[in-house]
Amino acid sequence: MSSFSEKMKKFKWKHYINYIVIGVLTVVFAIISAAGGLKSSSTILLEKIAISIVLAVSLSLVVGFLGELSLGHAGFMCIGAYLGGKVASLLVPVFGNGTVTMLIALFVGGGCAALLGFLVGLPALRLKGDYLAIVTLAFGEIVKVIFQQSKLFGGNLGLSTPNRPNRNTFFIVAFALVLFTLLIIQNLMRSKHGRAITAIRDNEIAARATGINVTKYKLVAFMISAFFAGIAGVMFSYTNSSVQAVKFGYNYSIEILVMVVLGGMGSINGAILSATLITILNEKLRTVLTGDLAVLKDLLYALILIVIVIYNNAPALKGFREKYNFRNLVAKIWHPKNDPSIVKDDAASWDKVPTKIKMDEILSVDLKVGNEFTPDKPSKGDK
């Protein structure tokens, strides 16, 4: 028994908290749904949230962990939605609209997106920063236009895809896919491969000199990210039961990017949270502002985003943020005795170093010891 309690102590809750929270919430909603307490609009909202989370988490792999700006995420999602949806509608007569069809559609949608991620990434990942962003942006638009023009996929009218097998329980499938996404991406980031990817973000030159195959890891990250975008696309095609290419413009790519940036670069939990909130916000604005007020939707959405970004970054609000920080509030409830918002002396962080040291004192101490004054050489970049 004691070994069990020791194991519980060693168990790193921090690493599993998101699985637990999502799992528990899904079960709770499943129970509510079984009791008939969930409107169909609510289940659709839950599905949309799940899709957003998969998109945000997969994009955060490229933007947050690999450190490359990709604006073509909606393009990969588009491929998944169209190809997955097409395969599903072809397979429904054979296997029926059930699990087998869905699994094959997910696999095809994700796989094709990953394959295209490989083909695009191979030349594009030689570029950096803004240039890569432009190429991926162009890629997303090309994909959109191709699907819009091809008769096989319904052209401008869009492709009608099979509906959800079960309207009331599909959100459980969607959240199972969220958990799968989290499993793969978090496990990747907590392995030696994940370390290599963050090493590339931190210093590509040093990563190369340390023997890391930069091209390989960039491609791996790009392909995994594209794979899950494809999966999100298939989920989207099931939820909407039709796919229109217009939906996957660069606006959507940027919306996903906003989710990642708001959640904090390189934070998976942040991406999950902000994807959830932004999706709910979007949906609420859409349903509340009807009729003439609908024009205000984008305006309000943008204003709220601006306020959030300023709140998160304004130096003047730093003290306020630290005091009412989510983590600190939780800690206060958990352990009321050691309040982390009261900074102890020994726990002073690097930015709380006393700044009013007199320059003369430092210099005189140096000279007293008899050290020769050797100015640091200005560091030159490696030529």
Partner 1 sequence: MSEYILETKNLGISFGGLKASQNVNLKIKEKQIYGLIGPNGAGKTTVFNMLTGVYLPTEGDFFLCGESLKGLHQEAINRKGIARTFQNIRLFNNMTVVRNVMVGLSNQPEYNCSLFDSFFRLPRHFRVEKAMRERAKEILDIFGLLDERNNLACNLPYGKQRKLEIARALATKPRLLLLDEPAAGMNQSETAELMDTIRLIRDKFDMTILLIEHDMKFVSGLCDEITVLNFGTMLATGTAEEVLRNPEVVRAYLGN
Which positions touch partner 1 (CB under 8 A)?
183-184, 187-188, 191-196, 198-199, 201-203, 205-214, 220, 350, 371-372, 374, 376-377, 379-383
221, two tokens: 């990250």
Shortest reach from residue 87's CB to partner 1, in Å: 24
CB nearer to partner 1: give 188 or 277. 188
Backbone CA torsion sign across 191, 69, 247, 139: negative
CB nearer to partner 1: give 122 or 293. 122
Shortest reach from residue 232's CB to partner 1, in Å: 18
Shortest reach from residue 174's CB to partner 1, in Å: 21
CB nearer to partner 1: give 205 or 296. 205
CB nearer to partner 1: give 183 or 296. 183
Place of tokens 């933007």: 63
d(CA 66, CA 196): 9
d(CA 208, CA 216): 11
Shortest reach from residue 86's CB to partner 1, in Å: 28
Nearest to 72 by CA among 122, 148, 124, 109: 124
Shortest reach from residue 107's CB to partner 1, in Å: 15
26, two tokens: 């899904």
CB nearer to partner 1: give 93 or 370. 370
Whole-angstrom CA distances from 334 to 327, 328, 329 are: 10, 10, 9
Write the DSSP string, 195-217: HHHHHHHH-HHHHHHTT--HHHH
Place of tokens 């921090």: 14
Shortest reach from residue 327's CB to partner 1, in Å: 18
> What DSSP character marks residue 243?
E
CB nearer to partner 1: give 201 or 297. 201
